[in-house]
């Protein structure tokens, strides 16, 4: 396995952060710096992960720390710090608390890594990307939210289970904000190139679309405490790998739009080309009137969150 000394900092050593650190190290694509506000937590998890290295056949270093100076010159900074949803709590309830956390951690991280690409995971996702953009002052190409990769993967897995086919043959497309108003697009979703509407009745497609929209809440309700982290960590790994290896994968990411899809000045999930410089291109597709209306409704709910943040007392 090739040794690669790229550096990825993961802020937040909780469920998503620690699993992301594990996935990145085990993929052998970067050394990982795990940082948290809780003393001992990132150090303990990093030590445990490093001790798994010989068994997982990688020799990436994994360092746990509470000091941002250790994260100096990271290629990528993944932001997972924040509170996770509890049962009955919406992503939006988290808004103001997590905005404060994201503001503080991004400020510290970019001081030491001014050239990094930021991958934001903390919820409510699209609003937290706005916070990271404002605090970092980075161009939109380097401030990217993870949500569409996860939402698409959820839709893919539900389609595969329903049709009894390999999940790897299913491709799915989900646009919009990461919330109950996300916009799964069945006509752009395929099984080995066959459009989904050719294989499934419209009512069944609608049920899977609805399950995708509430996929995060379904897991929160089952876990009773905390939220999903395996699929979210896998989603971050896909993005980090596409950036570090300049793969130019087409992945739906939350990015600041400047007129694309008729939306200006708002972060929303759209298909992007992810490469060494971050978001290298936004791919625009023509939407039907109904799809466009659903995207605008989703954008409206993100705009509401951004306004709530801006109007909140400092």
Within 85-243, strands assigned E span 117-120, 143-145, 170-171, 174-175, 183-184, 190-191, 194-195
**Beta bridge partners of residue 8, listed in sequence order:** 32, 76
For the bound state, the minimum distance from the C-beta of residue 54 to ligand A3D, rounded and expressed in Å, comes to 26
Segment 149 to 208, residues that bind ligand A3D, using CB under 6 A? 150, 178
Q: Any catalytic annotation for residue 178? A: yes
Q: Which stretch binds ligand A3D (CB under 6 A): 99-107, 110-118, 184-192, 269-277?
A: 99-107
Say how far apart CA 62 and CA 34 lie, in whole Å: 7
Prior bond to 76 cis, omega within 30? no
Asked if 16 touches ligand A3D (CB under 6 A), the answer is: yes
**Judged by CB under 6 A, which of 43, 123, 152, 272 binds ligand A3D?**
123
Segment 241 to 280, residues that bind ligand A3D, using CB under 6 A? none
Residues 215-234, mask of contacts with ligand A3D (x by CB under 6 A): -----------xxxx--x--
Asked if 126 touches ligand A3D (CB under 6 A), the answer is: no
Asked if 17 touches ligand A3D (CB under 6 A), the answer is: yes
Catalytic-labelled residue, pool 57, 58, 111, 178: 178
Tokens 């360092």 sit on residue: 63
Cβ-based nearer residue to ligand A3D, 151 or 191? 151
Q: What is the sign of the dihedral through the CA atoms of 85, 294, 153 and 147?
A: negative
Say how far apart CA 162 and CA 200 lie, in whole Å: 9
For the bound state, the minimum distance from the C-beta of residue 207 to ligand A3D, rounded and expressed in Å, comes to 21
For the bound state, the minimum distance from the C-beta of residue 212 to ligand A3D, rounded and expressed in Å, comes to 12
242 CB-near residues (< 8 Å, 6+ apart): 248, 249, 251, 274, 275
Answer yes or no: are the C-beta atoms of 45 and 34 closer than 8 Å: yes
Answer yes or no: are the C-beta atoms of 306 and 256 closer than 8 Å: no
Q: Which stretch binds ligand A3D (CB under 6 A): 15-23, 181-189, 199-207, 266-274?
A: 15-23
Asked if 122 touches ligand A3D (CB under 6 A), the answer is: yes
Segment 24 to 43, residues that bind ligand A3D, using CB under 6 A? 36-38, 41
Say how far apart CA 278 and CA 127 lie, in whole Å: 19
**Judged by CB under 6 A, which of 10, 13, 257, 302 binds ligand A3D?**
13
Segment 63 to 92, residues that bind ligand A3D, using CB under 6 A? 80-85
Cβ-based nearer residue to ligand A3D, 33 or 229? 229
199 CB-near residues (< 8 Å, 6+ apart): 163, 191
Tokens 């390999």 sit on residue: 166
Answer yes or no: are the C-beta atoms of 125 and 178 closer than 8 Å: yes
Q: Which stretch binds ligand A3D (CB under 6 A): 51-59, 119-127, 160-168, 302-310?
A: 119-127
State how far the alpha carbon of 113 is from the alpha carbons of 61, 117, 194, 253, in Å: 18, 9, 44, 22
Chain positions contacting ligand A3D, by CB under 6 A: 11-17, 36-38, 41, 80-85, 98, 101, 104-105, 121-123, 125, 146-147, 150, 178, 226-229, 232
What positions carry a catalytic annotation? 178
């Amino acid at each position: 396995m090739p040794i690669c000394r790229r550096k990825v900092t993961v802020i937040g050593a909780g469920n998503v952060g620690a699993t992301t650190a594990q996935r990145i190290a085990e993929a052998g694509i970067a050394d990982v710096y795990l940082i948290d506000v809780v003393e001992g937590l990132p150090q303990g998890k990093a030590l445990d992960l490093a001790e798994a290295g010989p068994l997982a056949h990688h020799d990436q270093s994994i360092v746990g720390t509470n000091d941002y100076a250790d994260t100096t010159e990271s290629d990528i900074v993944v932001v997972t710090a924040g509170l996770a949803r509890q049962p009955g709590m919406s992503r939006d309830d988290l808004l103001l608390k997590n905005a404060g956390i994201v503001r503080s951690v991004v400020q510290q991280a970019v001081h030491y890594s001014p050239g990094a690409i930021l991958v934001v995971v903390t919820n409510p996702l699209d609003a937290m990307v706005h916070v990271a953009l404002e605090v970092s002052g980075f161009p939109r190409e380097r401030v990217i939210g993870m949500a569409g990769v996860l939402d698409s993967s959820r839709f893919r897995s539900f389609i595969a289970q329903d049709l009894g086919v390999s999940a790897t043959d299913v491709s799915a497309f989900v646009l919009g904000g990461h919330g109950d108003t996300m916009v799964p697009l069945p006509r752009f979703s395929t099984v080995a190139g066959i459009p989904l509407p050719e294989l499934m009745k419209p009512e069944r497609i609608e049920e899977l679309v609805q399950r995708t929209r509430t996929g995060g809440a379904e897991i929160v309700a089952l876990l009773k405490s905390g939220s999903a982290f395996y699929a979210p960590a896998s989603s971050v790994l896909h993005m980090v790998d596409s950036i570090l290896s300049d793969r130019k994968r087409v992945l739906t990411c939350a990015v600041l739009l400047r007129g694309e899809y008729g939306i200006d000045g708002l972060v929303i999930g759209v298909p992007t080309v992810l490469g060494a410089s971050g978001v290298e291109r936004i791919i625009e597709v023509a939407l039907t009137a109904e799809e466009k209306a659903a995207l605008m409704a989703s954008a409206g709910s993100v705009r509401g969150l951004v306004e709530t943040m801006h109007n909140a007392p400092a």
